Amino acid sequence: MNDKAHHKIVAFAKKALPTAHKVILEKLLAKHLPKLTKNRVLVVGAGHESYERFYGATSFVVGIDLSHSKKTSVLCDAHVLPFKSNSFDTVVCTEVLEHCICPKTVVNEIHRVVCDGGTVVASTPFLFHVHADPNDYQRFTAAGLQALFAGFANLRIWVFGGRVSVIGDLITTYGKSLIPLRLINVIFRLIPADWLASEVDGSTRGDAGSGYLITAQKQTV
């Protein structure tokens, strides 16, 4: 088997057998995105997965990324969004902030382009292996995310996954030969989304989660 064929087989296996992190995240997005996305939607980092199948009734979707893909409408850097202020009703930014060298700048740009009263839906990994795309710079705690999104109102943060899913992902992302073990992740498809995530508050530590889901709103002036 040549390298090209081998690469295609591995890529197919990863898509067919996603990590527990991705399975759980998609369940949460399927629950929240239909209620939050509307009208003009900006997808920051749309290259691999824009999750449009989870959106509510939308009339205009723009996907941005650093490289071309079927989901990319505009090539640009998220640190400098080429849009006017108050251009979008919703901004979706999943699994992107860890790849940004200055995430605070990106969040500030998101705050600028979303309209007053508009919604932001974001996610980021926590206990998940380093994955360059093209670079992987950081991880955030719940407190770090609260500081990062401090300029928004109605900020809500859910920690999802836990020690079992984290350990499983650490094992099955260690080598290509271990990808078939991800078959076990089908169990997370059968568990209700509410059982797989906890909203972060004074009683929830969230100290060993696979990642976080964030929703927030730009305050109406």
- Digitized pLDDT (tens) for each residue of the chain, 221 residues in all: 555 554 555 465 667 889 999 999 999 999 999 988 888 999 999 887 778 888 877 778 999 998 888 778 899 999 999 999 999 999 999 999 999 999 999 999 999 999 999 999 999 999 999 988 789 999 999 999 999 999 999 999 999 999 999 999 999 999 888 889 999 999 999 999 989 999 998 556 668 899 999 999 998 76
Q: How far apart are CA 40 and CA 58, in angstroms?
A: 7
Homologous superfamily of the 3-217 domain (CATH) = Vaccinia Virus protein VP39 (3.40.50.150)
Q: Under a CB-based contact definition with an 8 Å cutoff, are residues 33 and 56 in contact?
A: yes
Q: How far apart are CA 30 and CA 187, in angstroms?
A: 17
E strands along the chain, which residues?
39-44, 58-65, 74-75, 88-94, 114-125, 153-160, 197-199, 211-217
CA proximity to 124, closest of 152, 159, 164, 150: 159
Q: How far apart are CA 69 and CA 93, in angstroms?
A: 16
Q: What end-to-end distance do the CA atoms of the chain give, in Å?
A: 61
Q: Under a CB-based contact definition with an 8 Å cutoff, are residues 74 and 63 in contact?
A: yes
